[in-house]
């Protein structure tokens, strides 16, 4: 199979290496708005560097069998639409777009073309989240009453990234919203969210927050909290605790979790705390691309289609409304449902 990868930044370069090693991939084309970046990734992976346009017209090295979109968020919806019109299956990094109209427009293109779109919510391929899903679905926790989701980045992104990110709920907590639905099998009914910009001044300047918390009520009455921060000096911390009437379990709790027990007899500080998402989720990123290649070959149903991404984005939208208006927001208020 020949795969075309668009966008060779942080995540794109990583995905290109994974694809270049995959036995089902016998040709890899890479493109980036910055040709030097594409050339550097091509040199590292043995791929052919092409132009973004050439990926769809075949002008440079033919048209690939499927595309993987890892470019900056603002370009996703347009590239998804181009792939759909060219009849190419597409994998796209989250999000489809930063707003609902952009997301719905791209989904309309995909649905009109009847093409494949898989979204990059890689936590669905993490062993811990998969085990938690099985525990909930098999009733091992009993009636689930509480879920606590945590996403903490070790350090803020560059200031220039913030205005393009869509804010902490859409950029970061959207992963927690997706995985909350996936693990519990429930929908969110209402959110109540707040945020703090008490940290570095660049967050205030961008109208964003550096730390956020959301209280989510699920449609069966389960209560969930989701918190995120860009300022977790201890390391990259992604966890989910699920508590039921029979048992409770934790995802992301191991000897690399960047948290230190304050108890005299508790475990000491982690020796090698997770530094970032590429290290923590490397096996999940590999598994999601392996799944995508199987989807393209018709061997697997799409594990995360565009409608799933829309559902997660709507929850992030509800949180933004709640934070701004300082009130609980029912999901029914958010368009696109």
**182 part of the interface to ligand NAD, by CB under 6 A:** no
**70 part of the interface to ligand NAD, by CB under 6 A:** yes
**94 part of the interface to ligand NAD, by CB under 6 A:** yes
Q: Pick from 24, 43, 59, 72: which binds ligand NAD (CB under 6 A)? A: 72
User: How far is CA 337 from its chain centroid?
Assistant: 20
What sign does the CA torsion over 250, 187, 293, 17 have? negative
**56 part of the interface to ligand NAD, by CB under 6 A:** no
Q: Which stretch binds ligand NAD (CB under 6 A): 40-48, 65-73, 108-116, 300-308?
A: 65-73
112-131 positions binding ligand NAD, by CB under 6 A: 120, 122
Do residues 300 and 104 make contact, with C-beta atoms less than 8 angstroms apart?
A: no
Q: What is the CB neighbour count within 10 angstroms for residue 32?
A: 25
CA–CA dist 286, 294 (Å, integer): 13
Tokens found for residue 306: 């565009």
Q: Which stretch binds ligand NAD (CB under 6 A): 5-13, 182-190, 227-235, 298-306?
A: 5-13
Sequence-distant contacts of 325-333: CB under 8 A, at least 24 apart = 326/194, 327/192, 328/190, 328/191, 328/192, 329/190, 329/191, 329/192, 329/193, 330/189, 330/190, 331/187, 331/188, 331/189, 331/190, 331/191
CA contacts within 13 A on the Cβ side of 109:
22
**33 part of the interface to ligand NAD, by CB under 6 A:** yes
Closest by alpha carbon to 94, among 219, 270, 277? 277
Minimal distance in Å, beta carbon 326 to ligand NAD?
A: 28
**36 part of the interface to ligand NAD, by CB under 6 A:** no
Q: Pick from 1, 27, 62, 75: which binds ligand NAD (CB under 6 A)? A: 75
**156 part of the interface to ligand NAD, by CB under 6 A:** no
Omega prior to 95 cis, within 30 of 0: yes
The contact pattern for ligand NAD, residues 247-286, with x = CB under 6 A and - = no contact, is ------------------------------x---------
Minimal distance in Å, beta carbon 284 to ligand NAD?
A: 9
Residue with Cβ nearer ligand NAD (16 or 331): 16
Do residues 116 and 295 make contact, with C-beta atoms less than 8 angstroms apart?
A: yes
Q: Pick from 2, 9, 223, 336: which binds ligand NAD (CB under 6 A)? A: 9
CA–CA dist 272, 108 (Å, integer): 45
Residues in contact with ligand NAD by the rule CB under 6 A: 6-12, 32-34, 37, 52, 70-73, 75, 93-94, 120, 122, 277
């Amino acid at each position: 199979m020949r795969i075309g990868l668009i966008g060779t930044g942080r995540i794109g370069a990583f995905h290109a290496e994974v694809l270049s090693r995959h036995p089902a991939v016998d040709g890899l084309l890479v493109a980036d708005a910055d040709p030097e970046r594409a050339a550097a990734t091509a040199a590292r992976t043995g791929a052919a560097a092409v132009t973004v346009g050439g990926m769809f017209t075949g002008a440079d090295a033919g048209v690939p069998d499927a595309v993987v979109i890892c470019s900056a968020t603002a370009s996703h919806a347009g590239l998804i639409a181009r792939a759909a019109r060219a009849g190419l299956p597409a994998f796209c990094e989250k999000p489809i777009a930063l707003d609902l109209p952009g997301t719905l427009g791209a989904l309309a293109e995909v649905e009109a073309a009847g093409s494949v779109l898989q979204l990059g919510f890689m936590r669905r391929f993490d062993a811990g989240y998969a085990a938690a899903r099985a525990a909930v679905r098999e009733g091992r926790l009993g009636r689930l009453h509480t879920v606590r989701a945590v996403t903490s980045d070790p350090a803020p992104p560059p200031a220039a990234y913030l205005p393009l990110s869509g804010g902490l709920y859409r950029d970061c907590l959207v992963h927690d919203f997706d995985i909350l639905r996936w693990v519990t099998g429930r929908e969110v009914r209402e959110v109540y969210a707040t945020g703090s910009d008490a940290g570095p001044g660049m967050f205030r300047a961008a109208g964003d927050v550096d730390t956020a918390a959301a209280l989510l009520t699920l449609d069966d009455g389960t209560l969930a909290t989701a918190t995120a921060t860009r300022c977790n000096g201890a390391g990259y911390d992604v966890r989910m605790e699920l508590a039921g009437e029979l048992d409770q379990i934790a995802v992301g709790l191991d000897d690399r979790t960047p948290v230190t027990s304050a108890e005299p007899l508790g475990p000491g500080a982690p020796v090698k705390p997770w530094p970032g998402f590429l290290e923590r989720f490397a096996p999940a990123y590999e598994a999601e691309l392996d799944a995508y290649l199987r989807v393209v070959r018709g061997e697997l149903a799409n594990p995360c289609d565009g409608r799933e991404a829309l559902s997660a984005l709507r929850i992030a939208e509800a949180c933004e409304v709640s934070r701004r208006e300082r009130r609980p927001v029912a999901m029914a208020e958010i368009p696109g449902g």
